[in-house]
């Protein structure tokens, strides 16, 4: 049931229904009563976000990301803007970094531009402390707040997620099945997505009866050189590892470079799995096995959900999309 059904049954334009929804005074009492009666008859619950067809829309969506130079986020921005253009919407992009105060500053800037919704691209906008998310919870009561691969619950907040925990579990489990027992895990951050990937890795070890050892879990900057140097340092310190799972392809490429320099055969002596299936995966030699986190599908689903809201449709508050493991030359699966 949506705004079109109400319009057809009441015999009025969609714009008139939208005026009623928005409390616009330029509607006669007779028409207002008629439209409200049809809503009641059809069991239609007025959606405060069904303004995309009304008079108060700016036809503009705000997009926030922490780092537009990041390959994953750069792709996300491209897909989001492409889908928004298809729907007739412009966009304003703010690159915020990871500092909470700066994120709040740019969020308020977009609100001041009277955008119709804000899309948060990436999982670094949901903070560990609930009080730090209060500004997002409050904003969701005024306009749609869309999260791409982040999750936050509250009125007017809609999350589209990759099942990172299941994806990391599958990759680690496949490494174990291929005979690897000492699996290094490299990750970039404690974001919502990052925590789920880490938990998937731990779940797979536990399921196989392998102890989770903290010396095999290391945070690393999202940088190829940093990952190569970290792997070399761990190796020189005597850590034995025959598998490596990472939270991003850049870290996996760093592990590949380490193996080349150390004379370690890939995948026979060291199997490596990356994450995001970026261009780095195919540029690596050997080509990198990587988890495809479906960034395009996430962005298309996010925009489709938003357009549904604007049209008065009932949409899910949370949508989860499964990842794919793309097998290439750095593993023997």
pLDDT of residue 114: 86
Nearest to 331 by CA among 256, 279, 280: 256
Nearest to 204 by CA among 255, 161, 167: 167
pLDDT of residue 286: 98
Residues facing residue 187 across a β-bridge: 219
DSSP code at position 160: E
CATH 3.40.50.2300, applies to 60-162+295-322:
yes
Query: Considering the domain 164-293 in this protein, what is its CATH number?
Result: 3.40.50.2300
pLDDT of residue 47: 52
The residues near 28 (Cβ < 8 Å, ≥ 6 apart) are none
Tokens of 227: 């990952």
Query: Token match 């057809």: residue?
Result: 8
The residues near 237 (Cβ < 8 Å, ≥ 6 apart) are none
Q: Give residue limits of the domains in the chain.
A: 3-42, 60-162+295-322, 164-293
What CATH superfamily classification does 3-42 receive?
lambda repressor-like DNA-binding domains (1.10.260.40)
pLDDT of residue 316: 93
d(CA 24, CA 16): 9
pLDDT of residue 55: 47
Three-state SS for 186? strand
Q: Are 158 and 132 in contact (CB under 8 A)?
A: no
CA 91 to chain centre: 18
Local mean pLDDT, 10-residue blocks, the chain (333 residues): 78 78 81 91 66 63 95 96 96 96 96 92 92 94 93 94 98 98 96 94 98 98 97 98 98 98 98 97 97 98 94 90 98 95
């Amino acid at each position: 049931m949506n705004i079109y059904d109400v319009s057809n049954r009441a015999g009025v334009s969609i714009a008139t229904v939208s005026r009623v929804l928005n409390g616009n005074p330029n509607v006669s009492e007779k028409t207002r009563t008629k439209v409200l009666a049809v809503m009641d008859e059809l069991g239609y619950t007025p959606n405060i976000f069904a303004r995309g067809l009304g008079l108060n829309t700016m036809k503009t969506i705000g997009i926030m990301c922490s780092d537009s130079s990041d390959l994953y986020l750069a792709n996300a921005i491209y897909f989001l803007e492409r889908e928004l253009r298809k729907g007739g919407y412009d966009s304003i992009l703010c690159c915020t970094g990871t500092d909470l105060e700066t994120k709040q500053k740019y969020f308020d800037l977009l609100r001041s531009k009277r955008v119709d919704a804000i899309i948060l691209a990436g999982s670094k906008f949901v903070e560990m402390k609930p009080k730090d998310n209060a500004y997002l919870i409050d904003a969701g009561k005024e306009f749609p707040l869309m999260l791409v691969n982040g999750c936050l619950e509250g009125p007017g907040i809609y999350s589209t997620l990759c099942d990172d925990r299941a994806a990391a579990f599958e990759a680690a489990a496949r490494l174990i099945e291929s005979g690897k027992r000492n699996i290094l895990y490299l990750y970039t951050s404690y974001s919502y997505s990052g925590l789920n990937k880490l938990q998937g890795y731990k779940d797979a070890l536990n399921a196989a009866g392998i102890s989770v050892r903290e010396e095999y879990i290391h945070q690393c900057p999202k940088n190829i050189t940093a990952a190569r140097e970290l792997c070399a340092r761990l190796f020189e310190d005597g850590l034995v590892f025959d598998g490596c799972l990472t939270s991003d392809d850049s870290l996996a490429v760093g592990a590949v470079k380490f193996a080349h320099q150390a004379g370690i055969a890939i995948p026979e002596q060291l199997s490596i799995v990356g994450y995001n299936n970026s261009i780095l995966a195919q540029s690596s030699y050997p080509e990198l096995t990587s988890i495809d986190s479906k960034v395009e599908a996430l962005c298309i689903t996010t925009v489709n959900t938003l357009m549904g809201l604007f049209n008065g449709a009932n949409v899910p508050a949370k949508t989860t999309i499964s990842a794919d493991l793309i097998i290439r030359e750095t593993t023997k699966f």
